[in-house]
Amino acid sequence: MEALLTKIYRRLFESYGPRHWWPGETPFEVMVGAILTQNTSWKNVEKAIQNLKARNVLTVKGVHQLKKNQLASLIKSSGYFRIKADRLKAFVTFLFENYDGNLKKMRYERVETLREKLLHVKGIGPETADSILLYGLKMPIFVVDAYTKRILSRHGIIPEKTPYDEIQRLFMEHLPSDERLFNEYHALLVYLGKTLCKKTPRCDICPLKGVRS
């Protein structure tokens, strides 16, 4: 499995190069993006983030001080904006209650401990928590999403309905615990999923064609 996962990574990297993901000027911006991108496209998230920047409130303190209806209005483009405003407020409340609103203090936690805490925050599931850890805090944890599941199942590496944690363990037990590797690998899988491994796949030109042979 280690050889296969390494082979997949090398083929994707040789085909697409570094993806420079996740886009964000600050760790908090990345974390906000991870929450806003639930059930929507990144283009819609970018508009919401630009609105927060324009109001100069894209900080832990800035979001904390906004009224919920003000926040909802600014992130409207991301869809489900009232629900997401609730989730962002819950997240910043968590940051103040546990870390005095200081993201640097989060890094003193063990990955497993911090992940467990994040999963108890309203509206934060495994994919969002792991995106916050990997992309926001540079912690070595593998993010799994729908593209990952689709690509691996189509190549017969996992059954179609394999649970999130099992897929995550597959990568983390067979690859070096390297934040940069996990970052790039996930970004490459997302790119493949968006461009070729769609609901109707382009297997004929896929860089992973015959990867198991």
Q: Nearest 10 degrees: CA dihedral of 25, 30, 33, 34?
A: 170
pLDDT of amino acid 87: 98
Confidence (pTM): 0.95
**Who's near 61: CB < 8 A, 6+ residues apart?**
101
CA angle at 92 for the pair 135 and 187, rounded to the nearest 5° = 15
pLDDT computed for residue 72 by the predictor: 98
* pLDDT of the residue at 212: 85
CB 171 within 8 A of CB 127: no
Closest C-alpha among 141, 122, 130 to residue 30: 130
pLDDT of residue 23: 87
Question: Does the pLDDT at position 213 exceed 90?
Answer: no
Three-state DSSP at 198 gives coil
- Domain boundaries, given as residue ranges, for the chain: 2-20+142-205, 27-136
Sequence-distant (≥ 6) Cβ neighbours of residue 105 within 8 angstroms: 99
27-136 CATH choice from 1.10.340.30, 1.10.1060.10, 3.60.15.10, 3.40.630.10: 1.10.340.30
pLDDT digits (tens, 9 = 90+) for 37-80: 999 999 999 999 999 999 999 999 999 999 999 999 999 999 99
Say what the pLDDT of residue 95 is: 98
- Intrachain domains 2-20+142-205 and 27-136 with the same fold: no
Q: Give the mean pLDDT of the chain.
A: 97
Please write the tens of the pLDDT for every residue from 170-196: 999 999 999 999 999 999 999 999 999
Instruction: Classify domain 2-20+142-205 at the CATH topology level.
Output: Endonuclease Iii, domain 2 (1.10.1670)
The mean pLDDT value for 81-86 works out to 98
Task: Give the pair of three-digit tokens for residue 97.
Answer: 């209650």
pLDDT digits (tens, 9 = 90+) for 101-148: 999 999 999 999 999 999 999 999 999 999 999 999 999 999 999 999
